[in-house]
Amino acid sequence: MTNEQGKKVAEQHRQMREGVADAILAWASLENGSVMLLANLISDREDLHFASAIYFAPTSIDVRTSILNRAFLARFNDELQHRDFRELWGKLVKRIDGKRQKRNIIAHSGIATHFQNDENHVRLMKPIWNSYELVPLSKSGQLPGMSANDVLQISKGIWDLAETLQMFTSAVRSFRIGGAQALSQACLQLKTRFSTE
pLDDT at position 134, please?
Answer: 43
User: What is the rounded average pLDDT for all residues in the chain?
Assistant: 89
How many domains would you assign to the chain? 1
pLDDT of amino acid 174: 94
Nearest alpha-carbon partner for 47 in 39, 38, 56: 39
Under a CB-based contact definition with an 8 Å cutoff, are residues 98 and 104 in contact? no
Examine residue 130 and state whether it is found in any structural domain, yes or no.
no
Helices (H), 76-147: 83-107
**Below-50 pLDDT ranges, the chain:** 131, 134-137
134 within some domain? no
User: Is 133 inside any structural domain?
Assistant: no
Helix/strand/coil for 38: helix
DSSP 6-32: HHHHHHHHHHHHHHHHHHHHHHHHHHH
Q: What confidence tens digit (pLDDT) does each residue in 36-89 have?
A: 999 999 988 888 999 999 999 999 999 999 999 999 999 999 878 899 999 999
CA distance 42 to 68: 10
135 lies in some domain: no
- Quote the DSSP letter at residue 146: B
Q: Give the structural domain span for 60.
A: 3-125+140-196
> What is the chain's alpha carbon radius of gyration, rounded to the nearest angstrom?
21
d(CA 98, CA 30): 13
Residue 126 contacts residue 135 (beta carbons within 8 Å): yes
Name residue 176's amino acid. R
Report the first-to-last Cα separation within the chain, whole angstroms.
42
User: 0.85 exceeded by the pTM?
Assistant: yes
Instruction: Give domain status of residue 131, yes or no.
Output: no
The SS3 call for residue 119 is strand
Residue 116: inside a domain, yes or no? yes
List residues bridging with 154 in a β-sheet: none
